[in-house]
């Protein structure tokens, strides 16, 4: 089984590319899905979050991710505390899904990890694929696609490693600044290369 890391920047289109790889036969293990799951009521992450941040960050019985996001984007200490709770639980969740995939005969498992480089996870993977879009396009997509204000979009991008630095560190780059067809063509070409090497 090949284990590939897929990453990008906010607004780069990583989820779109992950779905393209899924359509070609890859098993996708998504760190965002893991985060949602470990935050869910009844899971250890939920209880740890309430202990750390208090019930002000719970709405309708769930962690209020929007409110918590506002806190951690403006407070480095709060972000560090959040990450110390969430990251180990996410890694365990993703490891369990990867083991399940291997037991079910998956040939290629792709971990969709937004902060792969920021967390020093490159050694985990045989290949790291970056979904690239230049910073102005990232910001435009966050504003137009997610309805964020431009200042908020810039703040989100600023909390991540610069996309150009990620580009230098990746083994493969999918340039997602053009059309979907152009992106799909790059994904197919890379898949043919990755899937052929066993």
Which residue's entry shows tokens 């250890």?
Answer: 44
Centre a 10 Å sphere on the Cβ of residue 76 and count the other Cβ atoms it contains. 10
pLDDT tens, residue order, the chain (198 aa)? 999 999 999 999 999 999 999 999 999 999 999 999 998 999 989 999 999 999 999 999 999 988 998 888 778 899 899 999 999 999 999 999 999 999 999 999 999 999 899 989 999 999 999 999 999 999 999 999 888 899 989 988 988 899 999 999 999 999 999 999 999 999 999 999 988 755
Strands 27-30 and 108-112: parallel
Q: Is the pTM of this model over 0.85?
A: yes
d(CA 14, CA 138): 11
Q: Is the dihedral of CA 51, 56, 62, 66 positive or negative?
A: negative
Q: Are 42 and 75 in contact (CB under 8 A)?
A: no
């Amino acid at each position: 089984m090949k284990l590939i890391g897929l990453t990008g920047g906010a607004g780069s289109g990583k989820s779109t590319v992950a779905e393209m790889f899924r359509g070609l036969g890859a098993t996708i293990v998504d760190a965002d899905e893991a985060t949602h799951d470990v935050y869910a009521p009844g899971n250890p992450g939920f209880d740890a979050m309430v202990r750390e941040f208090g019930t002000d960050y719970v709405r309708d019985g769930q962690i209020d991710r929007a409110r918590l996001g506002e806190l951690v984007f403006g407070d480095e200490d709060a972000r560090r505390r959040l990450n110390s709770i969430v990251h180990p639980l996410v890694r365990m969740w993703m490891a369990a899904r990867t083991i399940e995939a291997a037991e079910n005969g998956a040939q290629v498992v792709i971990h969709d990890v937004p902060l792969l480089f920021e967390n020093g996870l490159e050694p985990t993977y045989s290949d790291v694929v970056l979904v690239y879009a230049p910073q102005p396009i990232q910001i435009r997509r966050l504003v137009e696609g997610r309805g964020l204000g431009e200042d908020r979009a810039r703040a989100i991008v600023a909390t991540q490693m610069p996309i150009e630095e990620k580009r230098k560190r990746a083994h493969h780059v999918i340039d997602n600044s053009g059309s979907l067809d152009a992106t799909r063509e790059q994904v197919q070409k890379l898949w043919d290369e990755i899937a052929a090497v066993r």
